[in-house]
Structure 1
Amino acid sequence: MAGRAFMMPQTGAITQDTMLDISHESLMRVWQRLIDWVEEEYDHVEIYLQLTKAAQQYQEN
């Protein structure tokens, strides 16, 4: 669509640390790489939580 931006960067120069705001949620449903990233991040959170729990149990015993 002319004149419409689906990804809006913060003001200033774009760097590798720049956060983008996805302005149209339907883009998220069809962007397979984003879906893969979200699933991978979820898996990492699960591992982190398991490690945290194991560390707490170790400290208690």
Structure 2
Amino acid sequence: MRVSVDADKCVAAGQCVLLAPEVFDQREEDGVVVLLDESPSPELHDPVRESALVCPAAVIHLAES
């Protein structure tokens, strides 16, 4: 799995951080998403998929391999 984010469109809801804190974080100053791991290990794939599904701005993009 490859993960990418469109930080310019992020609304700083933070759902991704709650679901997959090993993969996503938020900037201190404005809460915008920060991608920590663009190739997460297999045990993180389900929470990352859920993060993409619940993101209100749909800024998380996944490429499954």
TM-score range, shorter chain: under 0.3
Q: Quick check: which has more Rg, 1 or 2?
A: 1
Answer 1 or 2: which has greater helix percent: 1
TM-score (norm: length of structure 2) = 0.25
Larger RCO (alpha carbons 8 Å, 6+ apart): 2
TM-score (norm: length of structure 1) = 0.26
